[in-house]
Structure 1
Amino acid sequence: MKKYLLLVPLMASSALAFADGSVTLYGQIDNGLQFESGLAKGSLFGAATGNWAPSRFGIKGTEDLGGGTQAIFTLESGFSTLSGALSGNLFDRQATVGLTNPVWGTFKVGRMGEYEIQQDSFDLDPQLMQEYSIVTLVRGRNWSLASNGFEYTSPKWGGLTLKGQYDLTNSTTWNSGNPGSGPGQLGGAQGRSDGIEITYETGPMELMAIYDEIRDSNGEFDNVYVNSRSLMAGMNYSVGPVKVYVGYQHLAAPQASNQGYFGSDTPTALPGGVTLPTALDHEWLGALWQATTAASFTAAVYHANANNGNGNATLFTLGGTYALSKRTFLYSEVGAVRNSSTSNVGLGDGYTDPYGANVNDDPASGASNFRTNPNYGGTQTGVFAGIVTQF
Structure 2
Amino acid sequence: MKKVLCGLVAVTAAASASAQSNVTLYGIVDNGLQYETGLPKGNVFGAQSGGWAQSRFGLKGAEDLGAGTQAIFQLESRLNTQNGTVANGTFFAGQATVGVRNDTWGQLKAGNMGSAEISQFSGDVDPQQTKKYAIGTLVRGRIFSQAGNGIEYLSPTIGGFTLQGQYDLTNSPKWNAGDPGSAPSQLGTSTGLGSAQGRSDGIKLSYQGSGLFWQATYDEIRDPNGQFSNVYLTSRSILTGASYAFGPVLAFVGYQHLSAPDASIAGYFGEATPPALPAGTTLPTAVNHVWVGAIWHTTPALAVSGAVYHANANNGNGNGTLYTLGANYSLSKRTLLYTELAYLHNSSTSNLGLDSGLFGPNTNNDPINGSPTSNNPNYGKSQFGVITGIATQF
TM-score (norm 2): 0.90
Question: Is 1:117 aligned with 2:121?
Answer: no
SS at match of 1:189: coil
Residue 358 of structure 2 corresponds to: 354
1:79 CA displacement: 1.2
Is the Cα contact below 8 Å between 1:17 and 1:63 reproduced in 2?
no
Q: 1:389 is matched by which residue type in structure 2?
A: T
Q: Tell me the distance in 2 between the aligned counterparts of 1:190 and 1:331.
A: 35
Partner of 1:390: 393
Give 1:172 shift: 1.0
Distance 2:175 2:308 in 1: 40
Q: 1:181 to 1:250 in 2, by over 3 A?
A: farther
Match of 2:380 among 355, 377, 381: 377
Taking a change above 3 Å as real, the CA distance of residues 195 and 182 of structure 1, as seen in their structure-2 partners, is: farther
Kindly report which structure 2 residues correspond to 1:1-391, keeping only aligned pairs within 5 A, or say none.
20-87=20-87, 88-178=89-179, 179=182, 189-258=196-265, 260-262=267-269, 267-349=274-356, 353-359=357-363, 368-369=371-372, 372-391=375-394
Q: Over aligned residue pairs, what C-alpha RMSD do you find?
A: 2.4
Give the Cα separation in 2 of the matches to 1:27 and 1:185: 31
SS in 1 for 2:71: strand
Q: Which amino acid aligns with 1:206?
A: F
Is the CA contact (8 Å cut-off) linking 1:39 and 1:371 kept in structure 2? no
Aligned residues: 373
The equivalent of 1:8 in structure 2 is none
User: In the superposition, relative to structure 1, how do residues 182 and 347 fare at CA in structure 2: closer, same or farther (>3 Å)?
Assistant: farther
CA shift at 1:89, angstroms? 1.7
Secondary structure of the equivalent of 1:273? coil
* Cα 1:61–1:184 shift into 2, 3 Å: farther
Helix, strand or coil at the partner of 1:177: coil
Change (3 A) 1:255 1:295: same
Distance 1:177 1:265 in 2: 21
Distance 1:19 1:171 in 2: 38
Asked if the contact 1:336–1:382 (Cα under 8 Å) also holds between the matched residues in 2, the reply is: yes
User: What one-letter code is carried by the residue in structure 2 that aligns with 1:139?
Assistant: R
- Alpha-carbon offset, residue 189 of structure 1: 2.2
1:261 CA displacement: 3.3
Please state how far the C-alpha of 1:51 moved relative to its aligned partner.
1.0
Shift of residue 91 of structure 1?
1.1
Quickly say closer, same or farther: Cα 1:186–1:49, change in 2 above 3 A: same
Kept after mapping to 2: 8 A contact 1:221/1:254: yes
Aligned AA for 1:76?
Answer: E
Q: 1:370 to 1:165 in 2, by over 3 A?
A: closer
Amino acid at match of 2:117: E
* 2:228 partner letter: F
In structure 2, relative to structure 1, the CA distance for the partners of 1:371 and 1:33 (3 Å cut) is: farther
1:254-310 Cα offsets, whole Å, 9 max, x none, are 000336534788744201111110000000000000000000000000000000000
SS in 2 for 1:212: strand
Q: Distance in 2 between matches of 1:180 and 1:113?
A: 17
The separation in 1 between residues aligned to 2:175 and 2:188, in whole angstroms, is 23
Counterpart of 2:377, as a letter, is P
Q: Which amino acid aligns with 1:311?
A: G
CA distance in 2, matches of 1:311, 1:151: 37
Q: Is the 8 A contact 1:140 1:183 kept in 2?
A: no
Q: Is the alpha carbon distance of 1:280 and 1:169 closer, same or farther for their aligned partners in structure 2, counting shifts above 3 Å?
A: same
Closer/same/farther in 2, CA of residues 384 and 186 from structure 1, 3 Å limit: same
Task: Give ranges in structure 1 of 5+ residues lacking alignment.
Answer: 1-11
Mean Cα displacement is larger for which, 257-266 or 17-26?
A: 257-266
In 1, distance between residues paired with 2:215 and 2:338? 27
User: 1:312·1:340 contact (CA, 8 Å) conserved in 2?
Assistant: yes
Per-residue deviation, 1:18: 9.9
Aligned to 1:120, the other structure's residue is in SS state helix
Distance 1:176 1:185, change over 3 A: closer
CA 219–259 in structure 1, closer or farther in 2 if over 3 Å, else same: closer
Is the contact made by 1:337 and 1:346 (CA closer than 8 Å) also made in structure 2?
A: yes
Following TM superposition, the consecutive aligned residue runs of length 4 or more in structure 1 with deviations greater than 3 angstroms are 15-19, 178-188, 258-268
The DSSP-based 3-state class of the residue aligned with 2:287 is strand
Letter paired with 1:131: K
**SS of corresponding position for 2:85:** coil
Identical columns (%): 57
Give CA-to-partner distance per residue, 1:122-153, whole Å, 9 cap, x none.
11100001110000000000001010000000
Instruction: State the alpha-carbon separation in 2 of the partners of residues 19 and 261 from structure 1.
Output: 51
CA distance in structure 1 between the partners assigned to 2:122 and 2:90 by the alignment = 25
Corresponding residue of 1:4? none
CA contact (8 A) 1:186 1:226 kept: yes
- The amino acid that maps onto 1:242 is V
